[in-house]
Amino acid sequence: MNSPANRPKVIIIGGGFGGLAAARALKNAPVDITLIDRTNHHLFQPLLYQVATGGLSPTEISAPIRSILKDQRNVAVLMADVCSVDRAAKQVSLVNHAPIAYDFLIVATGGRHHYFGHPEWEALAPGLKTIEDANRARQRFLGAFEAAEKAETDAERKEWLTFVVVGGGPTGCELAGVLPEIARKALAGEYRRFKPSDTRIVLIENSAHVLDNFPDDLRVYATADLKHLGVEVIPLRKAADIQPDHVMLDDGTRIPCRTVFWAAGNRAGPICATLGAEQDRTGRVVVTPFLHLPDDTSVFVIGDAAHVRWLGDGTVPGVAPAARQMGECAGTNIERLLAGITHLKEFSYIDKGSMAVLGRNKAIVAAGRLHFHGVIAWLMWLFVHILYLAGYRNRLLVLLEWAYAYVTYRRGVRYLIKERID
C-alpha cells in the first residue's frame, strides 16, 4: 500500500454522469482523486427541458458535487475550468489556477451544442445543456408571451407566438411536446390581447422522421402524438438561416418567428482537442475498448466525450447510462493498472432501452424488442426519471411539483428577469 503522501493522483475532469461514476468506482482504491468541474453541481440534463419551460426550478434537477461525494474520503472537489491537458508533462491547466499533475486522468467533459459552422446562431437559438441555457430558454419562452401582449400589429404578435424547435431528437421532441400544453392550458385566460391557444409550434427535422434512433413503430406514434398536441412537424428540412424575426429553411420557406430553440447538434468539449488524440467528426476522442487513449494507458476518455465502437460500425450513444457504465469501467481499469494487472476490462455497453416523453400522458419506450407508448410509457418515463435524480430531496420535490402540475396544469416557475420584456 502506498503511503498517503505518495499515493497515485487521479484527476477526473467533469462531475456529470461519467465523472461521478468513475469517482465512485475508485472509492476503495489507494489513490487521491481530484474531481474538477467548472460548476459546483451535478446536473440531471434529461429534465432540463422542464426548467426551460418553467415546470421545475434549477435546484430540483441539480445537486452540489461536493455534497454528493462528501463521504468519499479519497476525493477532493475543485470548482475550476480546465483549459488544456499536457500529456507530455502529465498535467492539466486550469483558468486562474496553477496546473495540477496526474498519474491517471479521466476526461468526462460531455459536450456542447454544435451549430454546424454558424456560431452566430447560438445567441438567437439557444440550446439546452446547462442550467444557464435552461434559464435563458425559459426567459425567451415566457418573455415571448409578454412581448405578444405588447405587440402593435397582428403580424408582430404572430411572430412572438410562433416557436420553432430545430432538431427532432429526444430533446427537441420533449421540448416541442410540452410547449402546446403550457401555451393552451397553463397560460389560458391570462392575456387580454391574444389567446395563448393561437400559439404555433414548429418542429424542424433534418431526416424523414423525428426520433431517428427509435424503432419505426414508435416513431410513427411519436409523430402522431406531436401532431395531435398541435405541433407542426416539418421533416426533411434544415435551418438555412436564423434571424431575430425568422427562420429560413433550406427549401426557401420563411417562418416568421421570434423564438427559436436549438436541439440539432452536439460536439464534444474543446478539452478533447488538447489531448492530441484522434477525434471523430463531432470532436469525440477515439478510445480503445478499454477506454484509454490508444498510445497512453494513463488517460481515459468517457461519456459523451468518447467515441467507443458498438454494434459493428456504430458507436455507443451519448446517453446517461452509457456515461455511467464507462465511468465504472474506467475506474476498474485504473485499479487494475495500479495493481499491476495488464488484462484490462473491455467496455461492453448494456443498453437498457431508450425513452422520450411527448407531453402529458404521452411517451415512447423501446427496451429491446419491447415497445411501449401512451400512458404506460409515460408512467415508465416518470418512474425512471425520479429514480435517477440525484438526492432524495430532489426526488420528493420533483414528484410534488409534477403532481401539482398534473392536477392544475400550472407551471411552478414563472418568474422572468427584466431583459427580454423591455
Ligand X SMILES: Cc1cc2nc3c(=O)[nH]c(=O)nc-3n(C[C@H](O)[C@H](O)[C@H](O)COP(=O)(O)OP(=O)(O)OC[C@H]3O[C@@H](n4cnc5c(N)ncnc54)[C@H](O)[C@@H]3O)c2cc1C
When the beta carbons of 94 and 182 are compared against ligand X, the nearer one is 94
174 classed as catalytic: yes
Site map for ligand X, 5-44, x if CB under 6 A? --------xxxxxxx----------------xxxx-----
397: cell is 420535490
Site membership for ligand X, residue 320 (CB under 6 A): yes
Q: Which of 132, 149, 159, 174 is catalytic?
A: 174
Site membership for ligand X, residue 394 (CB under 6 A): no
Which of 7, 81, 402, 420 binds ligand X (CB under 6 A)? It is 81
Q: What whole-number distance in Å separates Cα of residue 24 and Cα of residue 388?
A: 16
Which of 32, 60, 159, 304 binds ligand X (CB under 6 A)? It is 304
Which of 58, 318, 374, 412 binds ligand X (CB under 6 A)? It is 318
When the beta carbons of 31 and 92 are compared against ligand X, the nearer one is 92
Q: Which of residues 191-230 bind ligand X (CB under 6 A)?
A: none
Question: Of 19, 22, 14, 33, whose CA–CA distance to 73 is shortest?
Answer: 33
Give the CA distances from residue 49 to residues 21, 66, 209, 234, 377, in Å, rounded to whole numbers and listed in that order. Answer: 24, 25, 21, 21, 18
236: cell is 426533411
DSSP lists the bridge partners of residue 113 as 266
Cβ of residue 45: shortest distance to ligand X, in angstroms?
A: 3
Compute the half-sphere exposure of residue 46: CA atoms within 13 Å on the CB side of its CA: 18
| CB-count exposure of residue 312 (10 Å: 0-12, 13-18, 19+) | exposed
Question: Of 144, 161, 114, whose CA–CA distance to 270 is shortest?
Answer: 114
When the beta carbons of 63 and 187 are compared against ligand X, the nearer one is 63
Could you tell me how far CA 284 lies from the centroid of its own chain?
A: 16
Q: Which of residues 259-288 bind ligand X (CB under 6 A)?
A: 269, 271
Judged by the rule CB under 6 A, the positions of this chain that interact with ligand X are 13-19, 36-39, 45-46, 48-49, 81-82, 108-110, 128-129, 170-171, 269, 271, 303-305, 318-321, 323
Residues with catalytic roles: 174
